[in-house]
Chain A
Amino acid sequence: DAGVTQSPTHLIKTRGQQVTLRCSPKSGHDTVSWYQQALGQGPQFIFQYYEEEERQRGNFPDRFSGHQFPNYSSELNVNALLLGDSALYLCASSLASLVGAKNIQYFGAGTRLSVL
């Protein structure tokens, strides 16, 4: 049973460019959340997708957008990259029917984005 997979593992971009990160959730999961983790910090919630719609959003600008596909996989897009966007981007999947405290999230290993 494959866990959460993310691609690519590493990425180098320059300021102003656009980037797309991809995530395949754990088998059977229908909800995908994205987090940004700066060096030495805990992950920060970006947004969550369920039934192909953004259900919750953290305090991130509109340059960060996403998409969920019918097979539950997801993409994170970041436009007009800034140096401060350099971070580890984590994808987590979960099952919407397990609400509240039962909603355990399973994380991928992340995509390391470097903006030069």
Chain B
Amino acid sequence: DAKTTQPNSMESNEEEPVHLPCNHSTISGTDYIHWYRQLPSQGPEYVIHGLTSNVNNRMASLAIAEDRKSSTLILHRATLRDAAVYYCILLSNFGNEKLTFGTGTRLTIIP
């Protein structure tokens, strides 16, 4: 499985944008970039995924570098409820559905 590298922790002020980076230099052409997050005392939840183009949904935006070796999850206006561990995961498009989690980025929101 291709690996991802994320900072261990980040802090952000409430109501400001947050940019969470992920490096995946060994990504293959068929790998999608998925983001999950794990709120305290909960299981992980899906946030967003993309292949090449930038993606937006109600939770976040995903910006993917042109060479696909890195990506950034963007929370446009962080709230205290966004405090969580964020995982960047590569997922093949050929049926390998297990998720390979790293240690993720622990995001702290400062009121």
B-binding residues in A (CB < 8 A): 4, 31, 33, 35, 40-45, 48, 56, 58, 90-92, 94, 99-101, 103-110
Contact = CB atoms under 8 A, between A and B. Distances in A.
B36 to A, nearest CB: 8
Contacts of A108: 43
A105 B46 contact: yes
**Interface of chain B, main secondary structure:** loop
B42 to A, nearest CB: 5
Interface of B: 32, 34, 41-46, 49, 51, 85, 87, 91-104
Given A31-B97, A42-B102, A92-B44, 11 more contacts: A33-B99, A45-B99, A100-B32, A100-B93, A100-B94, A101-B32, A104-B49, A105-B44, A105-B46, A106-B46, A108-B43
B93 A101 contact: yes
Given A43-B101, A58-B98, A101 B46 contact: no
A100 B97 contact: yes
